[in-house]
């Protein structure tokens, strides 16, 4: 019979994908860990159906497993190189899904829990934690539905009034897919000397058709537990604004005042503006275009905007209850809370989006904590890798002012401008695979 420790080196709060992966990375190195999970105490979040660790509450898919042309498939590859528990459990629970990695969710959760339970230095406690510990190494991985009491404690520690709200996300476009023969650069409403915004002009007929499309487009339905969560005033969905009147958008996010189109010398009837979203300049977000339109409807409608006819989207808009930190502002490069560095965060609460990304951040947080406990200098994965690009986005590459949850995508990688566009995805993955090997060797040496 395995005896679990009563004294531990690290306290992990949250037994989802990120918390489970972090616990695995630490405990398999012999570090004493306590993993606290609320489910199993008679309490669950509204989204959960079981008490199993790493329960998949939405889809059963980890998305594409293609590591040659797909950023999330590349992330799969890199996590496997790091002996990821989540990837190993997914392999055990895999079900047919073409090129995607999909799992039997019950088999997957049971496999994660069984592997963790077998680790002698890991103690799994079924308990609810309501406040951030004042001392001791702590890793918070409570996800987008963090319980109200703990969310309040995190809010007080970070200076945020509330972490639970409708996260209204604007679409993000790959810069290279914007037609600059139609669009032009200018400052916001042509105020100031810098030209930081891409402007897409609309005439009256185009605007009226677009407005009608917003009103008539198929919308996502809120889940039951989201029904009473309010919007932020500054994050009103664009279709809700459109419903307030045909000209509401022209006096709001689509206001053309002061924006002389250099090709006509006149203001357009309306304008769609895009703002740089990352320091690399590869991703641009559609200003004020947070939306609850369904994804297919977004692609169809947004490609009617002049200059975006061939737009490719790194992320489409969304609207859901979420809990996440403004990580570029609040966390250091090792995911530690700047105001309380004994506390690390991991998973979706840091502002990553998706099962795999959540687990990947948990993996890195576990490795960071292991290095800290052993007195070793932490070496971040190269930014040219999927792990490194994701970490860099969360901890500094993203603009804090407009920070929003993000899936891994090639727009987060240092660009390869000297590679032809058709060959760029393969070039990104080839570079990442070449660079991840040496970094994984540092983990082996430190293990």
Dihedral angle computed from the Cα positions of residues 4, 7, 10 and 14, in that order, rounded to the nearest 10 degrees: 60
Q: Sheet holding 340-345: strands in order across?
A: 122-126, 33-37, 10-13, 138-140, 340-345, 336-337
- Helices 85-93 and 105-117: crossing angle in degrees, nearest 10, is 130
3-state secondary structure at position 166? strand
Closest residue by Cα to residue 239 from 353, 318, 167, 322:
318
**Terminal CA-CA length for the chain:** 26
213: annotated binding-site residue? no
227: annotated binding-site residue? no
3-state secondary structure at position 406? strand
> β-strands 197-202, 138-140: how paired?
unpaired
**Whole-number Cα distances in Å, 117 to 41, 121, 424:** 18, 9, 43
Q: Under a CB-based contact definition with an 8 Å cutoff, are residues 400 and 328 in contact?
A: yes
18: annotated binding-site residue? yes
Q: Which two tokens stand for residue 366?
A: 């576990």
Q: How far apart are CA 200 and CA 197, in angstroms?
A: 10
- DSSP for 213-246, please give it: HHHHS-BPPPPGGGTTPPPPGGG--HHHHHTT-T
252: annotated binding-site residue? no
214: annotated binding-site residue? no
**Whole-number Cα distances in Å, 84 to 18, 25, 34, 167, 394:** 11, 8, 19, 29, 20
Q: How far apart are CA 88 and CA 108, in angstroms?
A: 9
367: annotated binding-site residue? no
Write the burial class of residue 336 (CB in 10 Å: 0-12 exposed, 13-18 middle, 19+ buried).
Answer: buried
Q: How far apart are CA 78 and CA 224, in angstroms?
A: 36
Q: Based on C-alpha coordinates, what's the Rg of the chain?
A: 23
Mark the binding-site residues, compressed into ranges: 14-19
Mark the binding-site residues for FAD, compressed into ranges: 14-19
């Amino acid at each position: 019979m395995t005896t679990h420790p009563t004294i531990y080196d690290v306290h992990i709060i949250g037994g989802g994908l990120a918390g489970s992966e972090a616990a695995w990375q630490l405990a398999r190195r012999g570090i004493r860990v306590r993993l606290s999970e609320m489910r199993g105490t008679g309490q669950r979040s509204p989204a959960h159906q079981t008490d199993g660790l790493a329960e998949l509450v939405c889809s059963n898919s980890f998305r594409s497993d293609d590591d040659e042309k797909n950023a999330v498939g590349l992330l799969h590859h890199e996590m496997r190189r790091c002996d990821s528990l989540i990837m190993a459990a997914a392999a055990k629970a895999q079900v047919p899904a073409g090129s995607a990695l999909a799992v039997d969710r019950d088999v997957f959760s049971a496999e994660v829990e069984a592997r963790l339970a077998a680790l002698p230095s890991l103690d799994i406690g079924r308990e609810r934690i309501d406040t951030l510990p004042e001392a001791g190494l702590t890793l918070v991985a409570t996800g987008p539905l963090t319980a109200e009491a703990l969310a309040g404690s995190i809010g007080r520690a970070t200076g945020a009034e509330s972490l639970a709200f409708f996260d209204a996300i604007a679409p993000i476009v790959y810069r290279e897919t914007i037609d600059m023969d139609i669009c032009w650069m200018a400052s916001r409403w042509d105020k100031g000397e810098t030209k930081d915004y891409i402007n897409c002009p609309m005439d009256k007929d185009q605007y009226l058709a677009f407005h009608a499309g917003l009103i008539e487009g198929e919308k996502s339905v809120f889940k039951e537990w989201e029904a009473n969560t309010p919007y932020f005033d500054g994050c009103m969905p664009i279709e809700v604004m459109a419903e307030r009147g045909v000209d509401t958008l022209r006096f709001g996010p689509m206001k053309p005042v002061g924006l002389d189109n250099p090709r006509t010398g006149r203001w357009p009837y309306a304008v769609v503006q895009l703002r740089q979203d990352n320091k690399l300049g590869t991703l641009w977000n559609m200003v004020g275009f947070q939306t609850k339109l369904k994804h297919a409807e977004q692609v169809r409608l947004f490609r009617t905007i002049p200059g975006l006819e061939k737009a490719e989207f790194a992320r489409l808009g969304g609207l859901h209850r979420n809990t996440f930190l403004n990580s570029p502002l609040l966390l250091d490069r090792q995911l530690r809370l700047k105001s309380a560095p004994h506390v690390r965060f991991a998973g979706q609460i840091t502002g990553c989006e998706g099962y795999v990304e959540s687990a990947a951040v948990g993996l890195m947080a576990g490795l960071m904590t292991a290095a800290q406990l052993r007195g070793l200098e932490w070496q971040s994965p190269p930014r040219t890798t999927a792990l490194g690009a994701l970490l860099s986005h969360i901890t500094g590459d993203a603009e804090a002012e407009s920070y929003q949850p993000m899936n891994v995508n090639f727009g987060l990688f240092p660009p390869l401008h000297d590679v032809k566009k058709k060959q760029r995805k393969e070039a990104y993955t080839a570079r990442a695979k070449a660079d991840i090997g040496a970094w994984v060797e540092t983990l082996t040496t430190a293990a």
